[in-house]
Chains A and B, each alone.
Chain A
Amino acid sequence: MPFCNVLSRALIILFCLFAATPPALAGKPEESITIQSAQLKQSGENWVLDAAASVKLNKTQEEALKKGVTLHFVTDFELERVRSWWLNESLIEANRIGRLNYSPLTRRYQIETTEGYKAFDTLPEALAGLGLIEGWVITPKKALKQGERYLAAMRMRLDLGLLSKPLQINALATGKWDVEGDWHEWEVAP
């Protein structure tokens, strides 16, 4: 049957095409976001987080940013109570979004967070401003008890879900958009 082979070959080719289309999630890219310092401290009646992260963008992301794509960086924070006899108790899970974009009209990089609006002339300044977290109110002072041990963790990542759909496809397909830092953990003893 001559067309049997043809058919099966066509099917195989189609399948390969299809199978190749989803992203070959390439090996983990080099660390693009690293938490340089993080501290949970008391400020007035609250626990607030001060942290500094170094954010690096690769060429693709920088180019997209320059062309007007807004990048959303999400900072995740988790606080757990350490229990020696059982799994840790999760107390707080919080996150905040920092939006970074470039305004061609003003030729400035703009950052918008819950705290407000900032503009920078250069990208490194803007990234530094993005990585800088000051006085993020986490929880009231009384939520953490004296004598207990707590474990805090934070990380910063680029939220691909807030990109436009075609860019998401690109991100899935190329893996050039994976900007995700490791969890940074430290112990907190009030």
Chain B
Amino acid sequence: MRYALLAAAILGAVVIALLFSASQDSPLLSENFPKLLAVGAAIAVALVALVGWQFWQLRRRIRAGVFGSKLTLRLMLWFGLVALLPASVVFGASVFFLNRSIESWFDVRVDAALGSGVNLGQAALDDLLADLTKKTERMALSLSDEGAGSVITMLSTLRDQAAIQEVTLFDERGRVIATAAGEKADLLPELPDKSILWQVRQEQAYSRVDDLPGHGLVMRVLVPVYSVAFAGETRVLQSIQAVPPSLARDASAVQEAYRDYQEIAVSRLGLKRLYGVALTLTMFLALLLTIVLAYLLSERLGSPLRTLARGTRAVAQGDFSQMHPVESRDELGALIKSFNRMTRQLSDARAEAERNHLQTEQAKAYLESVLANLSSGVVALDHKLRVRAINDAALRILDAGPENLSGKPLVEWGEPGSSLRQFGEQIAERFVAAEGEDWNAQLEFSRPGQSQNLLARGSKLPVDVQRGYTLVFDDITKLIRAERDAAWGEVARRLAHEIKNPLTPIQLSAERLSLRLTDKLAENDADMLKRATDTIVNQVGAMKSMVDAFASYARMPSAHIAPLDLNALILDVLTLYDGNFIHVELKPGIPLAAGDATLIRQVIHNLLQNAQDALSGQSDGRVSIQTENLENAVRLTISDNGPGFPEHLMARLFEPYATTKPKGTGLGLAIVKKIIEEHQGSIKVENQATGGACVCVTLPVFRKGESQ
């Protein structure tokens, strides 16, 4: 592109130089003039095409929104304007002065002077010619009087007298009769044309000046010679005389000048055209070159701007990696340098921010994992007691989804009237009552079928961290139950120890009283004694069995876990019962459970006993036993169609001493629960919708290497 432009400029300059020199006469250029014009025009057309292409490119780039293209266009137009103004002025002035100077060559006076010069020459020649004609006519007259014999002598004499350069006498047919010539004349006389001879014979003298090449101006006069002696033949006398050299030279010079002047006058329009074309072409080429150059320069100027635009876009998209080479040492280069510096600083700042963010994230993740692995429920509240964060343990304890709690104020937890809402309201009251102080409380969170004891602790966050509160609560239900179990164990042990010991002496004493006194008393008294001692013995026996029961509860043997075929065990236990009212529905092929056969047998006994007791006095009482296979567990379900558990006892069914039976110890279900928990199974008690109680016991499946 740049080289093509340079070549075009050089070629254009050469063409223009040649064009200007073409006005001088140089043979090389005479034939090539149209070609020169054509080459110039071709260059101009090529440049026009180039400019057009550049404009088209620009237009396309402007439409595409390429950054800097508008600037390029504007610079291009400015350059063009800057070039056009002086070029137009110079062009106009040149054309004006050209026309003026060409016109100034032509002057009426010069014209008239040259014309007069030529006329002067003509007049001088005419005079000379007239003089020669007269001399020749005189000679012809002399010749016509002479006889034939002495023509040559006569002619020579006459020539000498008249001082004529060359005299020749022709006969009628143009043949030379005699000739006489001076020293300067050629050897052979010049022969006249037939037409001239014919003209002369018609008695018309011929007199002309010829501009013979190599001879200069030569006068020639032909006159007829009449003579009786020639028998009526008309002879022709020709005399030739060169114009005197000084006159000839001057006349020729005037003529040459006149000719040149006239030629230039004829061709002045052409001259104007020539210079006009050359000038126009020059200006056009210069203008086009300027515009093309303007485009290139604008591109060059705009390239740092484009670089900056590219960089800005990259930065806007978050790419700080692009560094742009600084090519120029001017302000634009400095700008790019500053931009690079800014990008680097931005990049550093962002990296720093990212690092900080990462650290924060890590700290937060660490905190969250700690919170998530806490068994305590942790709830973060803002200053309006809205939940900001809540950990998994809290959700598990409250048995609620995060969507019910997150972002909600405490008093709007759960559905209105639900236990969750009540719990939330309780805590909110505590926070309000504490007035910013820390508080501890044991709260009951009771839901249908389940009651939990929660130990909650509320505290206010330090003011300099963030305004808000934290609530931490633990499910201490199991802890309380364990405490209660331990207490009951202690009671049982005490009973065994403190009560059972006196029972044997009491029984022995009663028996001895009966043995010793029965014979000594009267029959009435003996009977009374016997009844009394029997009563004592029986009651002591009953008390002993009750104490044993407590003792067995307190000293529950630890379970020996072994593979246990639950179905076989159930069938074995059922042999002891009247099978009429028991409906057995065992699933064949259930996996072996992990359990202690002795303890599980007691569980089944206890549950069946309970059911049987519940159905006493009911003629259509039925008990059903089912086994099921669960995932990694087996389930035993014992249900009846009796009255079911009383609702008020549901929460404390598994506590010792909770019984519905008039004679029960209230230890049956407590023992069952203890055994199942020792097996890491679960037990669930509920009243069926159709009436009657239902107890579900789930035991884990036995796995090898798990026993003990």
Of A112, A165, A172, the residue contacting B24 (CB under 8 A) is A165
Interface mask (A53-88 → B, CB under 8 Å = 1, otherwise 0): 000000000011001110000000000000000000
Are B208 and A164 closer than 8 Å at their CB atoms?
Answer: no
Which residues of the partner chain B approach A167 to less than 8 Å between Cβ atoms? 263, 266-267, 270
Are B263 and A104 closer than 8 Å at their CB atoms?
Answer: no
Are A69 and B211 closer than 8 Å at their CB atoms?
Answer: no
Which residues of the partner chain A approach B118 to less than 8 Å between Cβ atoms? 104-105
Are B258 and A18 closer than 8 Å at their CB atoms?
Answer: no
Q: Which of B257-302 contact A (CB under 8 A)?
A: 258-260, 262-271, 273-274, 276-277, 280-281, 283-284, 287
Are A165 and B208 closer than 8 Å at their CB atoms?
Answer: no
Are A69 and B266 closer than 8 Å at their CB atoms?
Answer: yes
A90 at the interface (CB under 8 A from B): no
Measured in the bound complex, the distance between the Cα atoms of B45 and A18 in whole Å is 11
Which residues of the partner chain A approach B273 to less than 8 Å between Cβ atoms? 21, 166, 169-170, 173
> Known: A3-B81, A165-B24. Contact between A106 and B125, CB under 8 A?
yes
Tally of A interface residues using CB under 8 Å: 40
Give chain B nearest CB distance to A171 CB in angstroms: 8
Are A17 and B280 closer than 8 Å at their CB atoms?
Answer: yes
Which residues of the partner chain A approach B41 to less than 8 Å between Cβ atoms? 18, 22
Interface mask (A106-149 → B, CB under 8 Å = 1, otherwise 0): 11101010000101010000000000000000000000000000
Are A67 and B77 closer than 8 Å at their CB atoms?
Answer: no
Are B208 and A106 closer than 8 Å at their CB atoms?
Answer: yes
Are A68 and B287 closer than 8 Å at their CB atoms?
Answer: no
Are A165 and B211 closer than 8 Å at their CB atoms?
Answer: no
Are A7 and B84 closer than 8 Å at their CB atoms?
Answer: yes
Which residues of the partner chain B approach A67 to less than 8 Å between Cβ atoms? 259, 262-263, 265-266
Of A3, A11, A108, A173, the residue contacting B270 (CB under 8 A) is A173
Are A105 and B255 closer than 8 Å at their CB atoms?
Answer: yes
Give chain B nearest CB distance to A37 CB in angstroms: 20
A26 at the interface (CB under 8 A from B): no
B157 at the interface (CB under 8 A from A): no
Of A106, A121, A171, the residue contacting B211 (CB under 8 A) is A106
B559 at the interface (CB under 8 A from A): no
A14 at the interface (CB under 8 A from B): yes
A161 at the interface (CB under 8 A from B): yes
Stretch from B25-33, B400-408, B491-499, B520-528 that touches the partner: B25-33
Are B255 and A165 closer than 8 Å at their CB atoms?
Answer: no
Chain A: which residue is nearest B129 at the CB level?
A106
Measured in the bound complex, the distance between the Cα atoms of B81 and A141 in whole Å is 72
Report the contact-size class of chain B (Cβ under 8 Å from the partner): 35 or more
Measured in the bound complex, the distance between the Cα atoms of B277 and A105 in whole Å is 37
Measured in the bound complex, the distance between the Cα atoms of B211 and A18 in whole Å is 45
Which residues of the partner chain A approach B262 to less than 8 Å between Cβ atoms? 67-69
Are A164 and B267 closer than 8 Å at their CB atoms?
Answer: yes
Chain A: which residue is nearest B265 at the CB level?
A67
Are A170 and B267 closer than 8 Å at their CB atoms?
Answer: yes
Measured in the bound complex, the distance between the Cα atoms of B267 and A132 in whole Å is 30
B682 at the interface (CB under 8 A from A): no
> Known: A67-B265, A106-B210. Contact between A169 and B270, CB under 8 A?
yes
Interface mask (B373-394 → A, CB under 8 Å = 1, otherwise 0): 0000000000000000000000
Are B23 and A166 closer than 8 Å at their CB atoms?
Answer: yes
Chain B: which residue is nearest A15 at the CB level?
B48
Give chain A nearest CB distance to B146 CB in angstroms: 33
Which residues of the partner chain B approach A10 to less than 8 Å between Cβ atoms? 84, 88
Give chain A nearest CB distance to B129 CB in angstroms: 10
Measured in the bound complex, the distance between the Cα atoms of B208 and A172 in whole Å is 38
Q: Which of B582-634 contact A (CB under 8 A)?
A: none
Which of A105, A165, A173: most chain B Cβ within 10 A?
Answer: A105
B22 at the interface (CB under 8 A from A): yes
Give chain A nearest CB distance to B584 CB in angstroms: 103
Give chain B nearest CB distance to A64 CB in angstroms: 5
Of A17, A63, A170, the residue contacting B269 (CB under 8 A) is A170
Of A104, A162, A170, the residue contacting B259 (CB under 8 A) is A104
Which of B29, B88, B284: most chain A Cβ within 10 A?
Answer: B284
> Known: A104-B259, A106-B210, A165-B274. Contact between A15 and B284, CB under 8 A?
yes
Of B30, B81, B264, B284, the residue contacting A14 (CB under 8 A) is B284
Of B24, B260, B284, the residue contacting A18 (CB under 8 A) is B284
Tell me how many residue pairs across A and B have CB atoms closer than 8 Å: 136
Are B251 and A105 closer than 8 Å at their CB atoms?
Answer: yes
Interface mask (A87-105 → B, CB under 8 Å = 1, otherwise 0): 0000000000000000111
Which residues of the partner chain B approach A173 to less than 8 Å between Cβ atoms? 270, 273
Give chain B nearest CB distance to A161 CB in angstroms: 5
Which of A10, A104, A168: most chain B Cβ within 10 A?
Answer: A104
Interface mask (A1-30 → B, CB under 8 Å = 1, otherwise 0): 101100100110011011001100000000
Chain B: which residue is nearest A119 at the CB level?
B210
Which residues of the partner chain A approach B88 to less than 8 Å between Cβ atoms? 10
Are A119 and B122 closer than 8 Å at their CB atoms?
Answer: no
Are B255 and A103 closer than 8 Å at their CB atoms?
Answer: yes
Are A112 and B213 closer than 8 Å at their CB atoms?
Answer: yes
Which residues of the partner chain A approach B23 to less than 8 Å between Cβ atoms? 165-166
B303 at the interface (CB under 8 A from A): no
Are B284 and A63 closer than 8 Å at their CB atoms?
Answer: no
Which residues of the partner chain B approach A106 to less than 8 Å between Cβ atoms? 125, 208-211, 217
Give chain A nearest CB distance to B19 CB in angstroms: 10
Measured in the bound complex, the distance between the Cα atoms of B255 and A70 in whole Å is 13
Measured in the bound complex, the distance between the Cα atoms of B273 and A166 in whole Å is 8
Are A117 and B213 closer than 8 Å at their CB atoms?
Answer: yes
Are B276 and A119 closer than 8 Å at their CB atoms?
Answer: no
Give chain A nearest CB distance to B557 CB in angstroms: 106
> Known: A7-B84, A10-B84, A15-B284. Contact between A165 and B263, CB under 8 A?
no
Measured in the bound complex, the distance between the Cα atoms of B262 and A121 in whole Å is 21
Which residues of the partner chain A approach B154 to less than 8 Å between Cβ atoms? none
Measured in the bound complex, the distance between the Cα atoms of B266 and A10 in whole Å is 33
Which residues of the partner chain B approach A169 to less than 8 Å between Cβ atoms? 33, 267, 270-271, 273-274, 277
Chain A: which residue is nearest B214 at the CB level?
A117
> Known: A105-B121, A105-B255, A167-B270. Contact between A21 and B212, CB under 8 A?
no
Are B212 and A117 closer than 8 Å at their CB atoms?
Answer: yes
Measured in the bound complex, the distance between the Cα atoms of B269 and A119 in whole Å is 31
Interface mask (A142-186 → B, CB under 8 Å = 1, otherwise 0): 000000000000000000011011111111110000000000000
B395 at the interface (CB under 8 A from A): no
Which residues of the partner chain B approach A63 to less than 8 Å between Cβ atoms? 266
B80 at the interface (CB under 8 A from A): yes
> Known: A4-B77, A14-B287, A165-B24. Contact between A68 and B30, CB under 8 A?
no
Are B280 and A21 closer than 8 Å at their CB atoms?
Answer: yes
Measured in the bound complex, the distance between the Cα atoms of B262 and A69 in whole Å is 8
Measured in the bound complex, the distance between the Cα atoms of B320 and A7 in whole Å is 43
Measured in the bound complex, the distance between the Cα atoms of B77 and A69 in whole Å is 49
Measured in the bound complex, the distance between the Cα atoms of B260 and A161 in whole Å is 18
Are A69 and B263 closer than 8 Å at their CB atoms?
Answer: yes
Which residues of the partner chain B approach A4 to less than 8 Å between Cβ atoms? 77
> Known: A18-B280, A103-B255, A105-B251. Contact between A168 and B77, CB under 8 A?
no
- Per CB-CB distance, the 4 closest pairs between chain A and chain B, nearest first, are A68-B259, A166-B270, A67-B262, A166-B267
A1-B73, A7-B80, A165-B22 given; name 16 further pairs at CB < 8 Å.
A7-B81, A14-B284, A18-B41, A21-B280, A67-B263, A106-B125, A108-B209, A108-B210, A112-B213, A161-B31, A164-B263, A166-B268, A166-B269, A167-B266, A170-B273, A172-B34
A-B contact pairs, 14 of them (CB 8 A): A14-B283, A14-B287, A67-B265, A103-B255, A104-B118, A105-B122, A106-B211, A119-B208, A164-B25, A165-B274, A166-B269, A166-B271, A167-B270, A172-B34
